[in-house]
Amino acid sequence: MTWETVIGLETHVELATKTKIFCGCTTEFGGAPNTHCCPVCTGMPGALPVLNERVLEFAVKTGLALHGTVTRRCKFDRKNYFYPDLPKAYQISQLYLPIVRDGALEIPLAGGGTKAIRIRELHMEEDAGKLVHDPWIDQTRCDYNRCGVPLIEIVTEPDFRTAEEVIAYLEKLKSTLQYLGVSDCKMQEGSLRCDVNLSVRPAGSAELGARTEMKNLNSFKAVSRAIAYEARRQIELIEEGKRVVQETRRWDENKDATFSMRSKENAQDYRYFPDPDLPPLELSEAYLERLREQIPEMADEKAARYQARLGLPAYDAQMLTGQKALAGFFEAAVALGAPPKQAANWIMGEVLRRLSADGLEAKDMTLTPGALARLIALVQEGRINRNTAVRVFDAIFADGGDVDAYVAAHGLEQVSDAGLVEAAVERVLAANPKSVADYRAGKEKAFGFLVGQAMRELKGQAAPQAVHRALGAALKQP
């Protein structure tokens, strides 16, 4: 029997606001334990929450960018549960009237084409604290710095069929959030983490199987591997005639397996009720319109513009717009005079190569768009050749040095004096009579060898065409 995997995703995104969702405490990551707290975010009796307007703004903008319907009258609810990382014993969230419903995000498919992933809802909520387990003294300590950090939770319909589709969605979502400037999306710091709901069913069946939920996956690698493992586990269970239990499972990175945590709770287990401390929100059409106008040009629109206006191939346009910082770098280099296709080639080739080798993200790059534009100009003017340009690029990439100063200091400018090139060719011919004889006897390979020798004589700083020309002319003479 062939099986189909059905996956839905709940993604938690920490918003890049300066302060928490209901108080003035900083949202900065880290800090000494329990130093970013106050009576509101630690749930002291009598403390009253006040909504951070920026959180609402970010949630609405994200909803609009995901083509969702914004709930004009929405409110907050209390989700009650006891856990040591939640000092209030309830989380302020939205159950009945989430801020956004019915959105969609279009993802590229591996075989070409796109697929729309439906977004059921997006709601605002607060994050919980962190428990730090200390195995040495067999104690668990509570750090409440993260309590009240604003989150949006984005819930999809069960529209994914493969891990690749899930990764494509997460990449597109990350890029969308970064374009909007609503989150830094640092997965290693937990700013973007997701719960994967997964079930399997016979291919072609319309019914959904019993699903399990894997919580808090915080890397693309963990998501892929957890999906592969859990789909296999469920298929094996069913093929053995057993039943999949609806439950929450924990993904263990080190053991490469999922483990049962608890049976899946339903909404009624949390005794949700409207939070009496926070008045319902009424959003006017004018407010939505103002936020809609603030949404910047997004990746898909940029990609379309790069193709139509700058003449870039679809592949280049998609690569460059995949990360906001990369697109910004490209546009700045072009604005400084770099021809678009050449700038695109450099960015997709050398820049991405170095970023990956150095383990950096485009937004943390020190190389300036001006330096790249200058490098391209020097090659175009014939002052350095392409190989030298890559050498200069590598040298200045990390410290953001000056292109012209580096070329001058290292004497890298190309030999453009035809006389110098001819003299070098003559020296090479005189030193390699056997290769000259071979070439004249019809051995084409000897020509390449002589070009290499001449380039070496010129310390690699001549235009290859000039060397070819001079060598061809010299060999024609008897």
- Pick from 147, 155, 200: nearest CA to 173: 155
**Nearer Cβ to Zn ion (144/229):** 144
For the record, the structure tokens of 116 come out as 């729309």
Dihedral sign computed on CA atoms, order 411, 412, 417, 420: positive
Closest distance to Zn ion from the beta carbon of 54 (Å):
15
Site residues (CB under 5 A) for Zn ion? 23, 25, 38, 40-41
| Shortest Å, Cβ 36 to Zn ion | 7
Q: Are 356 and 380 in contact (CB under 8 A)?
A: no
Shortest distance, CB of residue 35 to Zn ion, whole angstroms?
Answer: 11
Smallest distance from the beta carbon of 42 to Zn ion, in angstroms? Answer: 7
The residue (of 88 and 383) whose beta carbon lies closer to Zn ion is: 88
Taking the least distance from each CB to Zn ion, the nearer of 16 and 412 is 16
Render the burial of 17-37: b for 16+ CB within 10 Å, e for the rest: bebbbbbebebeeeeeeeebb
Is the distance from CB of 140 to CB of 133 less than 8 angstroms? yes
Q: Pick the closer one to Zn ion by CB: 38 or 281.
A: 38
Q: Select 87 or 401, whichever has its Cβ closest to Zn ion.
A: 87
CA-closest candidate to residue 412, choices 356, 474, 458: 458
In this complex, which beta carbon is closest to Zn ion, that of residue 24 or of residue 452? Answer: 24
Answer for the pair 75, 96: CB distance below 8 angstroms, yes or no: yes
What's the CA gap between 429 and 476, in Å, rounded? 12
Residue 304 φ/ψ, nearest 5 degrees: -65, -40
Closer to Zn ion by CB, 27 or 258: give it: 27
Q: How far is the CB of 41 from Zn ion (least distance, A)?
A: 3
Instruction: Name the minimum Å distance from CB 148 to Zn ion.
Output: 6
Minimal distance in Å, beta carbon 37 to Zn ion? 5
Least Å distance, CB 23 to Zn ion, is 3
CA 376 – CA 311 distance, rounded (Å):
18
Helix (H, G, I), strand (E, B) or coil at 431: helix
Q: Distance of CA 55 to CAs 316, 352, 411, Å?
A: 34, 33, 55
Closest CA to 465 of 386, 396, 401: 386
Distance CA 297, CA 389 (A): 33
Q: Please identify, using beta-carbon distances, which residue of 38 and 228 lies nearer to Zn ion.
A: 38
